[in-house]
Amino acid sequence: MKLERLNLTVVVGLTLYAVGLAVLWQNKNFEPGGALIVLFLFGLIFPALAWLATIPAVPLSISIRPSGCEMLVLAGFIVGLSIYLIGGPQWIDNHLPEAWTDSSKIKLLVTLAKKLIVFVAIPFAVFRFAFSYRLRDFGIQFQGLRALAGSHLPVVLVVGSALVAFQYFVGSGAAPVRHGNFSMHQLLVGLPLCFIWLVIEVGLVEEFFFRALVQSRLAAWFKSEVSGVVLMSLVFGLAHAPGFIFRQAGSVEGLGANPSALDAIAYSIVVLSVSGILFGVMWARTKNLFALMLIHAAADLLPNFANFVQVWRL
C-alpha cells in the first residue's frame, strides 16, 4: 500500500507539472527556459546535493500521528492562508496608524509580526492545545542545536554555500552586491544582521508552516516521506495562486498583469512548487527546523540585502 501511494503521488505530481507547462507554453509572457532551469536546479541538482550531504545525518525524533480531524484542520489552515494572502496583509496595513506605515523600519517590523502570527503562532497554538503536540514535534529541539555541530552540519554548509554562490553569480537580486555597490562597513555589519533577520522572517516562518507543520502531517498520513515532499511542494506553490489572480502579482513573475486563473495555477505548480522540493528533501532527511532556517536564510540573503541596507540605513 505504501508503494502504491508513493507511486501515485509522484505520478500525479509529474502529470500536473506536464499539464501546467503545456498551459504556460501558450502564454506569450512566459519564458519556458527559465522554468526548465528552475526544474533542473531546484528539482534535481540541489535536492540531489542535499540528499548526498545528509547521508551521515541522523533525523531528529518527532511524533506525528494525524487523525482525520487533524487533517481537516490542516486543510482549513491551507485554504485560509491562501485567502489571507490575497489581500489580508494589505487590509491590516490600511487599518494601522499612518505613522507606522510611513516608516519603512516600523513597516518591516509589522510585516514580520504579521508573518509570525499567521504562519507560526496561530497554527502552533491550535495544534499544541487541540492535538497535544510539543515543540519537539515541530523540529524545535535541543538535540537539533547539537546536531548542527554534528551530522547536520554538512547539509547546512554544503547546501547553504551552494545557494549563496548561485544567487551571487546568477541571481538578479544579487546584482548590487556583484557590482560592488556597498561599502566594506555595510558588508561586514549588514550581511550578518540581514542573515539573522532572515533566519526569523523567512526561515522560521516558511519552514515552520510548510515543512514542520504541513509536510510532516502529509508524510505521516500517507506513510511516505516522498509523498510528503511532493504534496507539500504542491501545497506551497498553489497557496500563492490566488495572489497572482487577484493582486496582479503575475506581472512580477512574468505572467502579465492579469493572468487567467489557469495560468496562475499552472505557474504555481511549474515554478513555485518545484522550488519547494529542496527544502522538503532536507526536512525529510533531518527533521531539524534550525538547520532549515539557516539554509533558507542563506538562500535569501543576497537578494534581500540591498533593501535591508536601505531600510536600516547601514
Interacting residues of 160 by C-beta distance below 8 A, sequence separation 6+: 294, 295, 298, 299
* pLDDT of the residue at 8: 84
Of 142, 139, 124, which is closest to residue 59 (Cα–Cα)?
139
Residue 60 · residue 287 · CB < 8 Å: yes
Residue 163 · residue 299 · CB < 8 Å: yes
User: Which residues of the chain fall below pLDDT 50?
Assistant: 1-5, 250-252
* pLDDT of the residue at 4: 44
* pLDDT of the residue at 255: 64
* pLDDT of the residue at 259: 72
* pLDDT of the residue at 285: 95
Domain total in the chain: 1
* pLDDT of the residue at 5: 47
* pLDDT of the residue at 169: 93
pTM of the entire structure?
Answer: 0.92
Domain residues for the domain of 241 are 2-312
Residue 38 · residue 271 · CB < 8 Å: yes
Residue 298 · residue 163 · CB < 8 Å: yes
Interacting residues of 149 by C-beta distance below 8 A, sequence separation 6+: none
* pLDDT of the residue at 241: 77
